């Protein structure tokens, strides 16, 4: 199966967000990634449910909402109502993770869990059978345009092994510093969905940049089948 691409609006022009989304979709985007930051869990403020609601009106692909916030349980209902198709919370911010994941699913969304670079994969061992997706952060969350952490490749492999032991084929998403130079290696390590912000929306032509990233990622699957 081909790798999926989820452009992150964190690097998009917010004055023309609808145009940015449509451009990425023309390039073959499989989802739109929405980073929600509260200025507490991470040192930045971004968007909330109103932006998700607005995106839902224009996006033709699912909205993959990533909550980088404290006490995420307080906001599950409002993001579901806004139109999130998948909702991911951080293990570091969710002391009752099993309950949170169950609540997300009960609201009709796919339930994901995210891991910061310094958090061990073992932190999700007890919920490995319950997640619909896992986000491996390959930068320290908070800002776009950061440099990819090379050790993330091994973390993706470890996450894939953990999910396999749990009998869960849930996809692994990689978020942070993803571009054409590391896409193939990430896919070869077990990533199924690549989140990219600067590599798409900081380019002159986001449509072409989306296609180029997919081509770079597909190089790994082509090599495996050769």
**Phi and psi torsions of 65, nearest 5°:** -100, 130
SS3 41: coil
175 in catalytic set: yes
Beta bridge partners of 88: 66, 112
> Of 85, 132, 175, 179, which is the active-site residue?
175
Query: Which of 24, 6, 3 lies closest to 205 in space, CA to CA?
Result: 24
> Of 30, 35, 85, 132, which is the active-site residue?
35
Q: How many angstroms separate the Cα of 173 from the Cα of each of 71, 74, 116, 185?
A: 22, 24, 13, 13
35 in catalytic set: yes
Nearby residues of 135 by Cβ (< 8 Å), 6 or more positions away: 66, 88, 112, 113, 114, 115, 172, 173, 174, 175, 195
Q: At what angle do helices 206-225 and 17-26 cross, to 10 degrees?
A: 30
Give the catalytic positions in this structure. 35, 175
């Amino acid at each position: 199966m081909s790798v999926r691409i989820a452009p992150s609006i964190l690097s998009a022009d917010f004055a023309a967000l609808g145009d940015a989304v449509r451009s990425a979709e023309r390039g073959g985007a499989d989802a739109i990634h929405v980073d929600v930051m509260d200025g507490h869990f991470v040192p930045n403020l971004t968007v909330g449910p109103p932006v998700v609601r607005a995106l839902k009106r224009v996006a033709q692909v699912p909205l993959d909402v990533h909550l980088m916030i404290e006490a995420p349980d307080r906001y599950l209902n409002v993001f579901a109502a806004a139109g999130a198709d998948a909702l991911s919370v951080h293990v570091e911010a969710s002391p009752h993770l099993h309950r949170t994941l169950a609540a997300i699913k009960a609201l009709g969304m796919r339930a994901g869990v995210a891991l910061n670079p310094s958090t061990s994969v073992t932190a999700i061992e007890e919920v490995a059978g319950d997640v619909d997706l896992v986000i491996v952060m390959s930068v320290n969350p908070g800002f776009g345009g950061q440099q990819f952490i090379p050790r993330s490749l091994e973390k993706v492999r470890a996450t894939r092994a953990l999910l396999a032991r749990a009998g869960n084929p849930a996809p692994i998403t990689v978020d942070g510093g993803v571009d054409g130079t590391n896409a193939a290696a990430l896919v070869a390590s077990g990533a199924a969905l690549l989140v990219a912000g600067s590599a798409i929306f900081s380019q002159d032509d986001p449509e072409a940049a989306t296609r180029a990233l997919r081509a770079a990622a597909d190089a790994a699957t082509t090599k495996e089948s050769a």
